[in-house]
Structure 1
């Protein structure tokens, strides 16, 4: 899907883990790091992609929203799309107060294998050491990073739908906002945060999707993406699955690289490598359908089956959602809609998934099933607004997310 700029590697006990790859697609398809990555549960995550050139001497105060609370907070920094090593010489995490300012006393230095500095090889990710103390659910976390000599392609997530902050020099340890005068609508060099929940049986769900999952047409800085609404439902229900990772990429396709590596090519890094993920929620395919590249329903069905097979082989469950209507979007035509409807029939009845959520039924107009319900339309006839995002989250059967294999 088309996108817009919204407003806006290593947590292990002692070892640096890294995955080096050759090309963006190969990097995305590389097997996940193995050393201690499975401890804890992901509380926030975002898909990484190639960004513009890195800026030497730049500081980033990145605002992310937790889903599940716990102790031992860790962050994963990423150089997945870099073409040279990335050095971070200072990193902190704390609770956001207001704007770029932090809650007094909450900012804590992150270390990597006990060191304050980490160098992440090109194509790799690195987890920090666990931070002591408790970290709450449903709160804004500020992760502050400084890169002394960044150059070449940066790695991050460009459409954050969240305002973060930048500034020259290393002010990562400061809790005030004075030296964070510029804003960015992207997340830089950060793609996951995890905690150790109080309940040992707590797991997470990772939403693998495109710009609808990424939050396009939702209100920026409000955490109104449908996975955010889902996280609030899970927390209120005290469900055994409470961690939510939003792995949506605007414009992403199941089959073809383009707006980031395809879902097939980023599945391992963006989803299966995340700690505590119990279920993958697959809601993607409209970009394949409307791209007019000759993709057939059988092509897309084969892609879904490959994803389901790989998720199941990893010992996790997969829930699939039907593709929503999009008549009125410039690329809509009857042939594309026929493919969408055939794919949806397969999703509903094919039997390859552990559960199905019928997002098409939630979004479509009863008077014209090829169109979004006007009251849920974000304005472009493809992306739901805030009300539509909440309707998607409300349609998910929470019991389907605690499936176990």
Structure 2
């Protein structure tokens, strides 16, 4: 065990034990050699106006396998309570159609209905049964009473479905006449698995969110990483993608900053062993006077808070972006200084050099054309896969 990580674990066990226990629901605590681990996640944000008497059929893709799935519904950005009176979990056959017999009702404290207060999240009861890795899981929920701001994840890169009225129990697709490219209210799915199994959370921006990857194909770099982990001899099996397009480390804007959402999106999730931090390009290219010292201070705050919560942190270098409209030599200088810190400071528990993987050997301030999604900032599917392939899987297991 790394000295920094061991020290952080001791601090967590002694001085911060109360906060650590509150970071996950009671059922996530180890029991009989088993505990809850996040198998899917997406960062919550404001998502337009909430609509009453609407159903959402949300398609998500699991990573870690396990039993007794639970979901977390978020009203983090709501300004009034929202009531869910019917919620089901099933397996997708195609489109909005489910595998016959797979759709099962979820309960909340034994009840079919639950109200999430403004700013709060709610967990379902465990649903008995096995959930395989790499499954297209479908959560169907009916919003009975809602107004004000909706909470959800805007850029899902996945088609989900909408219906007016309550169609949650239906396994056919007939009532699901609308589509959406966002996930509403659902922000995590967990499973119960062996106590040795852990998860990694990718904290990032639009590159982590999957912009320029193929929609409905699970080709974001965290998806490729999840598939690698399933085949590898490692105890880290869960992957949660907590990227938000346009997100920054230091300032709110496109979602709350990484600093402001760290607890909710990362540290509160059960079974997390490692925080994978790949963020900073939006701060650097915004021309707001952000310096390398500002960025380094932000990274250090994330490292310190994650260590205090008993997690290790892998840092990834900021990728090149010359050719993007906001690039200039001053921003490039900041990027280079930030990347030197990430590579050489020794303050991260591990480092993945995405800059080295993605940059052109002939023009290192640009993304290699083969990996360029077309805008000189976001990698395409091949670039996403190359990023995932570059991750040292042993760096994701804090016990090593």
Q: Give your verdict on TM over 0.5.
A: yes
Number of the residue aligned with 1:85:
81
Counterpart Cα distance in 1 of 2:399 and 2:329: 39
Q: Is the 8 A contact 2:27 2:36 kept in 1?
A: no
Equivalent position to 1:123, from 109, 119, 122: 119
Q: Is the 8 A contact 1:317 1:404 kept in 2?
A: no
* 1:257-276 equivalence runs, <5 A: 257-276=252-271
Unaligned runs of 5+ in 2: 1-21, 30-34
1:245 lines up with 2:236 in the alignment: no
1:329 lines up with 2:310 in the alignment: no
Residue by residue, what CA displacement relative to the aligned partner does 1:336-383 show, whole Å, maximum 9, x if unpaired?
A: 000000000000011111000000000000111100000000000000
SS at match of 1:231: helix
1:254 lines up with 2:249 in the alignment: yes
* 1:63-212 equivalence runs, <5 A: 63-197=59-193, 199-212=194-207
Q: Is the 8 A contact 1:62 1:165 kept in 2?
A: yes
1:365 lines up with 2:356 in the alignment: no
Counterpart Cα distance in 1 of 2:229 and 2:257: 28
Residue by residue, what CA displacement relative to the aligned partner does 1:183-234 show, whole Å, maximum 9, x if unpaired?
A: 000000000000012x331100000000000000000000000000000000
* 1:53 CA drift (Å): 0.6
**Kindly tell me: are residues 33 and 244 of structure 1, through their superposed partners in 2, closer, same or farther at Cα, counting changes over 3 Å?**
closer
SS at match of 1:89: strand
Q: Is the 8 A contact 1:316 1:404 kept in 2?
A: no
Q: Is the 8 A contact 1:37 1:274 kept in 2?
A: no
Number of the residue aligned with 1:293:
288
SS at match of 1:147: strand
Counterpart Cα distance in 1 of 2:197 and 2:350: 20
* 1:139 CA drift (Å): 1.0
Counterpart Cα distance in 1 of 2:383 and 2:157: 16
* 1:37 CA drift (Å): 4.2
1:312 lines up with 2:307 in the alignment: yes
SS at match of 1:352: coil
1:302 lines up with 2:297 in the alignment: yes
* 1:291 CA drift (Å): 0.4
SS at match of 2:52: coil
**Kindly tell me: are residues 340 and 138 of structure 1, through their superposed partners in 2, closer, same or farther at Cα, counting changes over 3 Å?**
same
Residue by residue, what CA displacement relative to the aligned partner does 1:313-350 show, whole Å, maximum 9, x if unpaired?
A: 00010000000000000000000000000000000011
SS at match of 1:176: coil
Residue by residue, what CA displacement relative to the aligned partner does 1:286-321 show, whole Å, maximum 9, x if unpaired?
A: 000000000000000000000000000000100000
CA RMSD of aligned residues (A): 1.0
Number of the residue aligned with 2:379:
384
Residue by residue, what CA displacement relative to the aligned partner does 1:241-291 show, whole Å, maximum 9, x if unpaired?
A: 000000000000000000000000000000000010000000000000000
* 1:33 CA drift (Å): 5.3
Unaligned runs of 5+ in 1: 1-30
1:58 lines up with 2:54 in the alignment: yes
Number of the residue aligned with 2:8:
none
Q: Is the 8 A contact 1:279 1:401 kept in 2?
A: yes
Q: Is the 8 A contact 2:64 2:133 kept in 1?
A: yes
Q: Is the 8 A contact 2:98 2:172 kept in 1?
A: yes
**Kindly tell me: are residues 388 and 252 of structure 1, through their superposed partners in 2, closer, same or farther at Cα, counting changes over 3 Å?**
same
Number of the residue aligned with 2:213:
218
Q: Is the 8 A contact 2:202 2:278 kept in 1?
A: yes
Q: Is the 8 A contact 1:94 1:102 kept in 2?
A: yes
Counterpart Cα distance in 2 of 1:78 and 1:372: 36
Q: 233-242 vs 157-166, which deviates more?
A: 233-242
Number of the residue aligned with 1:9:
none
Number of the residue aligned with 1:10:
none
SS at match of 1:250: coil
Detail structure 1 runs of 4+ shifted over 6 Å in the superposition: none
Equivalent position to 2:26, from 17, 35, 50: 35
SS at match of 2:242: strand
Q: What's the TM-score once normalised by structure 2's chain length? A: 0.92
* 1:69 CA drift (Å): 1.0
Counterpart Cα distance in 1 of 2:168 and 2:399: 41
